[in-house]
Structure 1
Amino acid sequence: MVRRPTLRREGGLGSATSGTRLRDLSRVPGLSVTDRQRLDRIIEDAGRLGGNLAEDLVIDRNPTRVFDDLGDFIGNTVKPKDLSEILANVIQRPNIPRQNQLHFVTTTLIDEIRKKSPKALPTIPVGKGRKGADLPVTTSGLTQLLRLAAVQLSENENSVIWDDGINQLVVHASQVTATLTEGFVRIDVKVEADQLRATMQIPFAVGSEKRLSGLVMATTDRPAGNARVARVWGDALIAFAHGALIAASESLAGASGRDAQNKRLVPRALVARRGSLVVESQARFVFKEEQQ
């Protein structure tokens, strides 16, 4: 059952110190465009009721409502620093299995977040196609997840040799790094060949707060770095970096909740800011074939 947040007039049984004025919510930083538009409509509707309702009405800071009218999850905000600090502690644990490291780490990470902030993640099934929790990671946190994903893509080897029959390239999967700026994720991959050591840079244009793009992303035709490596191995390096980014996002989103069919949530969007990346999760859409 969906429960709505408690609303009351200031000066009644409660006071403004235990809540936030409705109009003040419009100045809260970090609201999405959709949320801000919804809030503006609520304030406008409240103003039509007369008096100073929009000024006097107070909303509890800890609402009991779980989903909004559209069925999207509402939860406490997870801070990128908090998530990444927990992630760093989880990765240092000695009992991480060699197989499925990424899945183990993200599952353990989400369990720890639930303990610290129980209302930050959905605990009941998310409706089909509806939005789940937002999962923000810092640059260092994303780097840690990408390394796990890259090693997983490399058959659980920290370094692998790529061989096309003529050329060979050593790819250090466990040493990939990430750089985050507004709307961009850059993944750096360290490689080696005969008398050559280089760092290849693969940039991806993803979503930003001003330009939402879901999981659609774009990159250059070749990575930056050594020209010969880019010419011979450019496509493979781009696919490798893209695969690691998607795998890390899928694992993080999947660990954060389940849908009505008990399937793991999936990523629906990546939003990059300077120093952090938000992975937005959602429940899968159900197609007719799945309903039969």
Structure 2
Amino acid sequence: MGRRPTNNRNLPSLGRRLSELNRLENLSPSDLERIERIMREAENLDRFNIEDLIIVSDRPTPDAREDESKPTLRARDVSRTIEDALAEPQLPAERDALKVVAGSVLERLREKFPGTLPDGPVKPGDKGAELPVNTEALAKLIRVAAINRSEGQSSVIWDDGINQLIVHPGRLKATVTEGRIRIDIPVEADGLRASMQVPFSVGSDKRKTGLVMATLDRPAGNAMVARIWGDPLIALAHGALVDVAGKMAGASGRDAENKELVVRGLTARRGQFTVETQAEIPLRRFLR
């Protein structure tokens, strides 16, 4: 076993990536102050390279030419298939709509694009397919996931005993840029109508971060809503994004023990979000 060599000169600093979060609209002075504080704390993290912790096997990798010849899925094909699956008749409320949609999407992709998804069991730890989707299709899947998390309701009322907030999971939007994804959640309260923005810094083509994600301690948008409902709003956005990735990965293939594949990593480029998959590594391997 060995460590993967890295070249820090070619990797964007964490501080520089976090600094781009302050370009979001509707940031209050307190939001800007928190970003500055996070950036100052991140200066020491810039010297730390997460890829130095990635342990890779000394087993020879497959021939590069073989990887290049293997067909891969394109974002437009995956996105079009998602659109087709979501156009089907409405699913029964008692079913996991996201799991059904993901299963339908991957089944259609397997039929339409042979060889792009694993045909047989994937060995423990081995990589599966990469599943790219465009922003619009991703937003639709996130809405399905958020509605699932809201007991099947496209609009819900949150009540903490003192305050109430109307949240619209069925109207969530997404914006995907290099290494970042932002989820906008429409809310209402006492005549207020606002969009709360939850940004996540994820991996990119140049910097792989696996499942590591970073965000602010509060959503951007209305300061009072962020103060009272910040944590639940972040949880809704994060949970919906993780649900989408997990269900898509699980429907893409199986491992040698017939378990669903899991998420290996998340990457974002402008207008495209990609879920990388792999077979789970059994914990017993490390308990010998």
Residue 91 of structure 2 corresponds to residue 96 of structure 1: yes
Deviation at 1:95, TM superposition (A): 5.1
User: What's the counterpart of residue 207 of structure 2?
Assistant: 211
Mapping of residues 207-286 of structure 1, within 5 Å: 207-286=203-282
SS state at 2:171 partner: strand
Residue 84 of structure 2 corresponds to residue 86 of structure 1: no
User: What's the counterpart of residue 144 of structure 2?
Assistant: 148
**Percent identity, aligned pairs only?**
50
Deviation at 1:148, TM superposition (A): 0.6
Kindly indicate whether the alpha-carbon contact (under 8 Å) linking 1:213 and 1:269 is maintained by their aligned counterparts in 2. yes
User: What's the counterpart of residue 171 of structure 1?
Assistant: 167
SS state at 2:253 partner: coil
**Superposition RMSD in Å:** 2.5
Distance change >3 Å, CA 288–CA 62, structure 1 → 2 = closer
Write the letter of the residue equivalent to 2:101. Answer: V
TM-score, normalized by length of structure 1?
A: 0.74
Deviation at 1:60, TM superposition (A): 8.4
In structure 1, what is the Cα distance between the partners aligned to 2:67 and 2:256? 28
Deviation at 1:97, TM superposition (A): 3.0
SS state at 2:256 partner: coil
SS state at 1:96 partner: coil
Mapping of residues 1-292 of structure 1, within 5 Å: 75-94=70-89, 96-98=91-93, 99-288=95-284
Structure 1 portions without partners, runs of 5+:
1-33, 44-58, 64-74
Deviation at 1:96, TM superposition (A): 2.9
Q: How many residues align?
A: 229
Distance change >3 Å, CA 61–CA 210, structure 1 → 2 = closer
Kindly indicate whether the alpha-carbon contact (under 8 Å) linking 1:96 and 1:105 is maintained by their aligned counterparts in 2. no
Higher Rg: 1
Which of the pair is proportionally richer in helix? 2
User: What's the counterpart of residue 15 of structure 1?
Assistant: none
Distance change >3 Å, CA 87–CA 291, structure 1 → 2 = farther
Over 6 Å off, 4+ runs: 59-62, 289-292
Deviation at 1:229, TM superposition (A): 0.3
